[in-house]
Amino acid sequence: MKKLVCVFFAIALAQGVPTVVQSQQIIDPIDRVVSAGLMKKDASGNFNAEGIVSRADLAVILVKTFGLERRKTAQKPDMEMPDVPKSYWAYSAIQTVLKTGTMRGYRDGMFFPNQRVTRAEALAIFAQAYGVFQFPDATIAEILAKYPDAGEIPSWARKSLATALYEGFVNVDIATNKINPLKPMTRGDIAYALSKYLERQVRPTSLPVPDEEPPNRGMGR
């Protein structure tokens, strides 16, 4: 029987006959997010995947991706931010992430818009905008135990990062299976997360255990 099946596929391929098994079209994450209008290339057509993501960059990306300006809390009065004047290029997006609680300011009401973010910070905040799964501590520990550098994740980010890992938003190092939570977040890193998020909108993720109840996804931390 196996020989007959192999012969069938060989003939089908040789004659160009369509078969049931089809390879999925592979879309480059950068092309996907640029086409979706979530990120842009520069005037020369370069994406600069190794470029570092700042807090202002992250705010703009989050607002575009999750439509945060449509949330009820986004309608609150603007907050006074000494280092983010109204003339600042990302003023509106920063106000939106602050008012929705997606991102937070620092001491003395500062936002530090040009400060770079680590992978742990960016991915955890991304998960908070997406909606953090309210996993029990045991499940969080189980998810993170697969990664040798999970101990470097700040305690406040563990639940959010567990959600990001569970949903496949994190581009884990293939060779080492490391998360690299303390490394700076790059444009390529966030493009990967965005691409996976866009895939989820078309093809929702399936749960690892058929009888498992869907995780409770609360909003924010």
Q: What pLDDT is attached to residue 212? A: 38
Tell whether the model's pLDDT for residue 143 goes beyond 70: yes
Q: Which helix (H) or strand (E) holds 84?
A: none
* Residue 173 near residue 18, CB atoms below 8 Å: no
Average pLDDT of 44-65?
Answer: 97
* pLDDT given at position 68: 96
Give the model's pLDDT for residue 13: 42
pLDDT value of residue 108 = 85
Q: What backbone phi and psi angles, to 5 degrees, belong to 116?
A: -75, 160
Quick one: pLDDT at residue 204?
Answer: 55
- DSSP state for residue 42 in the 8-state scheme: -
Closest by Cα among 100, 155, 173, 92 to 130? 100
**Rounded Cα gap, residues 189 and 171, in angstroms:** 7
Kindly state the average pLDDT of the residues 179-206.
89
**pLDDT recorded at residue 65:** 97
Total residues belonging to the chain: 221
The candidate with the shortest Cα–Cα distance to 25, out of 203, 173, 168, is 203
The predicted model gives 19-35 an average pLDDT of: 70
Per-residue pLDDT tens over the stretch 58-109: 999 999 999 999 999 999 999 999 999 999 999 999 999 999 999 999 988 8
153-188 burial, b at 16+ Cβ within 10 Å, e below that, comes to beeebbbbbbbbbbbebbbeeeeeeebbbeebbbbb
Q: Which of these, 181, 179, 173, lies nearest to 155 by C-alpha position? A: 181
Which residue is listed with tokens 């991706």?
65
Q: What is the pLDDT of residue 29?
A: 93
